[in-house]
Amino acid sequence: MNNGKKIFVLGVLALFLALAFTPATQAEDDRDFTEVKEKLFNIEIEEFKADGSIEKKVFEITQTEINKLKNELLSTKSIEERLLVLKKYNLIPQDKTVEELETGMYEKAYRLGITPDDAPQKTKLKLPILLQFFKKVSATYFGGISLNFGLKFIIRIINLLPFINLPTLDFADFCGGLFGVLTTEGLIFKNNHTLITFPGISGMFGFVGYRIKLPFLMHIYTGFSAVTFGVGLGLHIKD
C-alpha cells in the first residue's frame, strides 16, 4: 500500500473513531454534572434465520448504555467477539453460536438456489467495489438506512386471515449510509476484504446473522452471507 493510500486509510479510521467514541465521552461528562434521569431509547435487534424468517426484538436502554454497547461492538475484531458482546447485554440467546449461523447461511443459500460451486474462484473488480461469496461479513454504516426484500407485504396480507401466522421470508438485504465499513472474511482461505466508503451501499443475499439498529441512523450487520456486494466512493483494501 503506497503512502497516499496509507494516509487515506488513517484519515478514515480517525473519522470512524471520532463518530464512534465522541458521544460516549459526552455522555460520561454530562453524567458528572447532572443527576437528571436519562431518557430511554429504543434499539432493534433482528435475527435473520436460515428459513428466511426474521425475528425482531426491541429493547429500551439509556444513551450511556447505548454508547457503551456501540463502543464495545466497534472494538471487536470478529463475529465471535461481537456475539459475546450481544450476549453480555442479553440482546441475543446465550446459547447462540457462530457455527449455527454459518450452517444456517448454507441452508438459506441452497433455498435461494445459490451453491458454493456457483461462486467464482477469483473475482477481479476495480476499486472501490467488493463482490464476495460465502463469507463472514461485518457491515457498519452511519447516517443511513437498511432494507430487506422478500415476501413481507404478501405474507402480512395472508396473516390477516384467522388462524394463520406465516413467517416473513427474507431474500436480500441492503444497507447504505454517508460513511460505511464493509468487511468480509474467508471461511476456508483467510482472504479478507475491507471496503471503506463515503458514501456507500452494500447488498447481501442469503444473509444469516444479526442486524443491530441504533439511534442516530447507525446500522450494524454481523453474520454470514452467501453473496456480499458493496460499492461506493472510497477504498477497497485486500489482506
User: 236: part of which helix (H) or strand (E)?
Assistant: strand 218-238
pTM of the predicted protein model? 0.79
pLDDT for the residue 15: 55
Q: 207: closest CA among 167, 175, 159, 166?
A: 175
pLDDT in the model for residue 24: 44
How far is residue 131's CA from residue 133's CA, in Å, rounded to a whole number?
A: 7
Per-residue pLDDT, 34:
44
- Who has greater pLDDT, 88 or 8? 88
pLDDT tens digits, 53-90 = 889 999 999 989 999 999 999 899 899 999 999 999 99
Residue 239 has pLDDT above 60, yes or no: yes
User: Is residue 119 in some structural domain?
Assistant: yes
Above 50 in pLDDT, residue 26?
Answer: no
Find the angle CA(209)-CA(215)-CA(221) to the nearest 5 degrees: 20
The residue among 218, 147, 222, 148 whose CA lies nearest residue 183 is: 222
pLDDT, one tens digit per residue, over 121-145 is 555 555 678 999 999 999 999 988 9
| 30 within domain boundaries | no
In a domain? residue 6: no
Q: Is residue 23 part of a domain?
A: no
Does the pLDDT of residue 146 top 70, yes or no?
Answer: yes
Question: How much is the average pLDDT of 11-34?
Answer: 50
- What is the pLDDT, as a whole number, of residue 16? 59
The pLDDT value recorded for residue 5 is 53
Would you state the cell numbers that stand for residue 85, as one nine-digit string? 458482546
**200 lies in some domain:** yes
The residues that bridge with 194 in the sheet, in sequence order, are 183, 237
pLDDT at 2 exceeding the cut of 60: no
Is residue 186 classed as helix, strand or coil in its secondary structure? strand
Dump strand ranges (E) for the chain: 40-48, 54-62, 129-150, 170-186, 192-205, 208-214, 218-238
Mean pLDDT score of the chain: 82
Q: Is residue 4 scored above 70 in pLDDT? A: no
State yes or no: pLDDT of 17 exceeds 60. no
Q: What is the mean pLDDT of residues 203-222?
A: 93
Whether 23 has a pLDDT exceeding 60, the answer reads: no
Find all residues with CB under 8 Å of 206, minimum gap 6, and list them: 105, 108, 109, 112, 114, 225, 226, 227
| Count of domains observed in the chain | 1
150 neighbors 180 (Cβ within 8 angstroms): no
Please state, in angstroms and rounded to a whole number, the distance separating the CA atoms of residues 115 and 112: 9
Does residue 210 lie within any of the structural domains? Answer: yes
In the structure grid, which three cell numbers stand for residue 31, read together? Answer: 453524567
Residue range 149-198, pLDDT digits in tens: 877 656 667 777 777 777 667 889 999 999 999 999 988 767 889 999 98
Kindly report, residue by residue over 76-127, the tens digit of the pLDDT. Answer: 989 999 999 999 999 999 999 999 999 999 999 998 888 888 776 555 555 6
Where in the sequence is the domain holding 71, given as residue range(s)?
A: 39-238
On the question of pLDDT at 20 being above 70, the answer is no
DSSP 178-195: EEEEEEEEESSS--EEEE
Q: Looking at the domain assignment, is residue 17 inside a domain?
A: no
- Please check whether residue 11 lies inside any domain of the structure: no
Task: Using the structure block, give the residue that is written with the C-alpha cell 483467510.
Answer: 190
